[in-house]
Amino acid sequence: MNDRWYKSSYSSNHGGNCVECRTDSGTVDVRDTQHRSAGHLSFPTTEWSAFLADVRTDNL
């Protein structure tokens, strides 16, 4: 498993809504930067990609 988490480029250093992601063998894990100990959510890579495409095109 990839233990390296990547902070969203939209997250700031001033608090607020920050998320981190990591990838592993067909899944994407997502967690709240401020509450890392609360765990994470896992999504299949294809579903995560579709979600991001919808966000980018404002289809939500």
The amino acid at 60? L
Confidence (pLDDT) at 53 = 94
Determine the Cα–Cα distance for residues 39 and 8; give it in Å rounded to an integer.
Answer: 17
Residue spans of alpha helices (H) in 6-59: 45-56
Sequence ranges of the domains in the chain: 6-56
pLDDT of 6 over the 70 cut: yes
pLDDT digits over 9-56, tens only?
Answer: 777 666 667 889 999 889 999 999 888 999 999 999 999 999 999 989
